Structure 1
């Protein structure tokens, strides 16, 4: 049933080459997550959704998960106020089986119980592009890409000089502000930006009365130096500092004075070399992730417990293009995830080493046909090796008006350091989780591109899934799951001023472990049905107005399917009005009809809330 959703120095970083576009190649037609290099979308047989800078600005959303929720195949849950723990599931996979990249750097937390990524602290302030790849893809991305990949990118430097800023204010004393400056001078280009968010929030516990406030500062920077036409240096960095009041989740959620603080550092430094007139390119890079989480039972005291996860990676990628119709991508990666814990009278520190090699071939044997296939092997210092395969095809018989897609992907997820080595529940004999994913889809463009319809059917089987074994009180490879479903999207532009997008996804994700209490039950917090509809209209006098409606079906909060989460419908409206060439006023109302709903049992969600602000750009 459906019912009425200390500022510190920024670490240097850079990402693998982000797609460069020309006037004849729109950014939306280029994707990088499928193979790790920039590709036209009609060469890719996998299901990918792009949320570009224009869409992010129009929607005015603060949380990344609110944007992702309108994407087919995505389900999310959040435990209360803005900043609270939020997980994203792709096609019914576990939230820990979603691989997350920021500017090409893996940011899944090595100190998390399952190496998952907490989307709660990831706001839209300095994100300009999101790619969502659905389906297993460990050949390119390694561990954790069982459900798929969410890749987030900051804005590239402007060709000349550009600056922009925005600020808005609204419900619950919420202030959001951002600014960035970028430019290019000769062979040097760079960008620096910052975003600040503050709110009194809501009670994270649904039964609570005390508001849980939140503060978030995010900074990003990049620098590119082209020493010659063939050789360049990329440096990029991303930093998040967050401070959250939250309600205790030990037992039923209830008001409490608990506090969580986060410092997240993301860094990349890489050299890019092109030889033989671009037919052979190389990228060598070092990346760094550090995720420090401290928890306090009472603000103002010393932290009661905390976690620190770090991941140092070395990456080499080579691309050989002997002709315009063939590419070979190959690479080597070494990473060393570290896990540290303190609290409750004890400390723990663990680490692992992972070495990986992969190769991926992309060929176009016939006009309109693109074939991709690859293999990867990962060697883990604890459990040994994991080999994965993948292949996909895209065929267009009519110059891109119709695209028929086929995809097969294998995925694996290494056990987390916590699951392997925790003193009380760890199991050093754990094997990696494995998956096999199948897709078939078609994209059809109509009316000279004013309408596009996409349909995809998928199936994924996951084995050796890790869960807590109540018989041994340790983690074990005890789960098998299956997810199948259909995704559909529609994009319409009947007139130049009107844009309409709609998506629907059906996901049947079930336990197949054979355990009597759970076998055949739906996986928790994964609704079968979800629909999203967005429309934006640009009026002749400059005003832009828009609305988004999202409907999510019933789900269950637990594996035994005994706690139901009712479906819900959310509506939001927005508007913006330019004042001259450099100034714009904007505003939105979220949850317009004040729907009462939950994405996790016992945790609160926002009611009707209004916000307004101003943007400037130069």
Structure 2
């Protein structure tokens, strides 16, 4: 960590002296909006450059801030539920552990970023990201890239990438305030200010969310009557300064903090009124963007820092039978320096190269009845990554991308990953053919390497690996008022890290798995105020060692959304989510379910709006994880003001 910090400070000083302090960013979240509009609908996650969506062979879904607002969603995890190929699993209500599985991959196989900052927690047991505490505040859009992206982003992107991009202020200063409440003693208040000129833009958002919640352990089972409360404070900010026509500087920051009460387990008699999590998460990045030779050479330099401080406290765990307490504390930090150079060689060829240096650290401790029961001293991991990518187009019909990356880690030998994808337009029929092939890898997490508290750590672990490919077709009809598509995917995962039962659950590279399936979608836009969208995913997953289905990944998932604006002031959104049966730790698995959700708004005044939503309108009883509770019918409402 000291090495990377020293290198970062040295490079930052050099960059300032030569006006090379830049960012288009690795996420593209800091690019000029006018340029993006000229390109049409663009995405940045798939290639790390602004690229029109129809020129990308990989599978990408974009969730806009407008869509999130229409559904009145408060958590990012809920916004991801309708994305093809994604399965969102929560162990109870808001604030409980939340996992996202992408195309059958493990939940820690997805790289999660916000404004170029990696959010995956170095101190978590598997190096993944828990979506439990991530709110939708100040989010402009979310880009979901499905399929191995290690050739672009390195470790953690073995299954795909979820890239969150926050709002960029523009126009006169605007203030927004929101207050809403509803079922389970839920309240949320928030305020935001944003604005911008040609030289400076800024946005700042803060919110407080509180709910008494419902029992994390299924309250329909014996002994689970106590609700699990949750508190969350979120602060998000972003600013950019255009120094001159060539140079932009900026900063982004996000903080999540609070407390969530827990239950001991899922199933009967799992209530625990004395156990809770505390969390403090910080993600920040300084960046800049330099353009030379009329924009033909773009350079980016960024320095990012993330910190995740999580604690678990259980007072009188089994009182009065065993009136003792235990605590656990995990601190993970990540410091990353990234440099990227984009060469617009000509209209048909764009080359990208980049260098990254990253340092991860972990400190973990546990106590039982006030006495230390185990400490993981500070452990670190350093990685240097080097990548190259070329984007070629022929006759404005064929768009090919090829990339390769080498990662050098101080804990295991260097690793090479690569990928290639193709998008081919048949303009005469409004058709698009696309395909991609790539390899991925996931470095062992620090806890997997060095855990001594539970005795599962193994410093001899190797990276997990994957081979992924997909192919699909998209079709526009009725003058682009109808769009439909289907994609077949196939993923194979090797060297998966699992606890070996025969050796007291010592972590070893003994797992192998496969996932394949089809993702489909359609969009219908008959006129401006009405849109319909549907998705369906069919997938088969298999543990290649046991032959069993991978748990918590259903074979079938479908969604249907209707968005309708009427009377010039009213807005109604209808969402139907259908999830099929899935395997779980219980041999019978978890039954499928269908949910109906409504949301809407009404403009009382140009500056005052009524907002509301109803979750689980049909009051279905269901589970996402065996033995854990879910929401009954619930209603929420409030006001939003802008001035």
Normalised by the size of structure 1, how large is the TM-score?
Answer: 0.94
Quick one: which of 399, 410, 427 aligns to 1:381?
410
1:371–1:445 distance in 2 versus 1, CA, 3 Å: same
Matched with 1:578 is: 603
Matched with 1:398 is: 427
Matched with 1:10 is: none
1:356–1:23 distance in 2 versus 1, CA, 3 Å: closer
1:280 aligns with 2:309: no
1:333–1:200 distance in 2 versus 1, CA, 3 Å: same
Quick one: which of 350, 354, 361 aligns to 1:327?
350
Matched with 2:557 is: 530
Task: Specify the SS of the correspondent of 2:599.
Answer: strand
Task: Specify the SS of the correspondent of 1:42.
Answer: helix
1:447–1:186 distance in 2 versus 1, CA, 3 Å: closer
Paired with 1:453 and 1:253, the residues of 2 have a C-alpha distance of 47
Matched with 1:494 is: 526
1:32–1:253 distance in 2 versus 1, CA, 3 Å: farther
Q: What are the superposed Cα offsets for residues 311-358 of structure 1, whole Å, 9 maximum, x if unpaired?
A: 011101000111121111111111111010011312212111111100
1:455 aligns with 2:483: no
The correspondence of residues 303-452 of structure 1 with structure 2, limited to 5 A, is 304-344=327-367, 345=372, 346-348=374-376, 349-398=378-427, 401-423=430-452, 424-452=455-483
1:393–1:121 distance in 2 versus 1, CA, 3 Å: same
Query: Is residue 403–residue 442 contact of structure 1 (8 Å, CA) maintained in 2?
Result: yes
Paired with 1:280 and 1:192, the residues of 2 have a C-alpha distance of 31
Matched with 1:505 is: 537
1:531–1:179 distance in 2 versus 1, CA, 3 Å: same
Matched with 1:91 is: 103
1:422–1:23 distance in 2 versus 1, CA, 3 Å: closer
Matched with 1:269 is: 286
1:602 positional shift: 1.3
Matched with 1:590 is: 615
The correspondence of residues 457-472 of structure 1 with structure 2, limited to 5 A, is 457-472=488-503
Query: Is residue 294–residue 303 contact of structure 1 (8 Å, CA) maintained in 2?
Result: no
Task: Specify the SS of the correspondent of 1:109.
Answer: coil
Task: Specify the SS of the correspondent of 1:611.
Answer: strand
Paired with 2:35 and 2:498, the residues of 1 have a C-alpha distance of 50
Q: Relative to structure 2, which stretch is displaced further, 400-409 or 79-88?
A: 400-409
1:421–1:436 distance in 2 versus 1, CA, 3 Å: same
1:399 positional shift: 7.4
1:607 aligns with 2:632: yes
1:228 positional shift: 1.1
Paired with 1:336 and 1:541, the residues of 2 have a C-alpha distance of 52
Query: Is residue 351–residue 389 contact of structure 2 (8 Å, CA) maintained in 1?
Result: yes
Query: Is residue 195–residue 219 contact of structure 1 (8 Å, CA) maintained in 2?
Result: yes
Query: Is residue 266–residue 628 contact of structure 2 (8 Å, CA) maintained in 1?
Result: no
1:556 aligns with 2:583: yes
Paired with 1:230 and 1:24, the residues of 2 have a C-alpha distance of 17
Matched with 1:229 is: 245
1:274 positional shift: 1.0
Query: Is residue 173–residue 196 contact of structure 2 (8 Å, CA) maintained in 1?
Result: yes
1:226 positional shift: 1.5
5+ unaligned residues in a row in structure 1: which ranges? 1-12, 514-518
Paired with 2:543 and 2:450, the residues of 1 have a C-alpha distance of 26
Quick one: which of 62, 66, 71 aligns to 1:59?
71
Normalised by the size of structure 2, how large is the TM-score?
Answer: 0.90
1:204–1:253 distance in 2 versus 1, CA, 3 Å: farther
Quick one: which of 95, 114, 129 aligns to 1:117?
129
1:400–1:471 distance in 2 versus 1, CA, 3 Å: farther
Query: Is residue 223–residue 235 contact of structure 1 (8 Å, CA) maintained in 2?
Result: yes
1:302 positional shift: 9.7
1:351–1:28 distance in 2 versus 1, CA, 3 Å: farther
Task: Specify the SS of the correspondent of 2:536.
Answer: strand
Matched with 1:198 is: 210
The correspondence of residues 108-147 of structure 1 with structure 2, limited to 5 A, is 108-147=120-159
1:107 positional shift: 0.5
1:23 positional shift: 9.6
1:540 aligns with 2:552: no
Query: Is residue 266–residue 626 contact of structure 2 (8 Å, CA) maintained in 1?
Result: no
Query: Is residue 291–residue 298 contact of structure 2 (8 Å, CA) maintained in 1?
Result: yes
Paired with 1:172 and 1:224, the residues of 2 have a C-alpha distance of 40
Query: Is residue 183–residue 191 contact of structure 1 (8 Å, CA) maintained in 2?
Result: yes
Task: Specify the SS of the correspondent of 1:494.
Answer: strand
Quick one: which of 225, 250, 261 aligns to 1:245?
261
Query: Is residue 368–residue 395 contact of structure 1 (8 Å, CA) maintained in 2?
Result: yes
Paired with 1:194 and 1:450, the residues of 2 have a C-alpha distance of 38
1:41 positional shift: 0.4
Query: Is residue 28–residue 52 contact of structure 1 (8 Å, CA) maintained in 2?
Result: no
Paired with 1:228 and 1:554, the residues of 2 have a C-alpha distance of 57
1:521 aligns with 2:548: yes
1:115 positional shift: 0.4
Task: Specify the SS of the correspondent of 1:420.
Answer: helix
Task: Specify the SS of the correspondent of 2:69.
Answer: helix
Task: Specify the SS of the correspondent of 2:359.
Answer: strand
1:451 positional shift: 0.7
Q: 4+ residue stretches of structure 1 with deviation over 6 A? A: 250-253
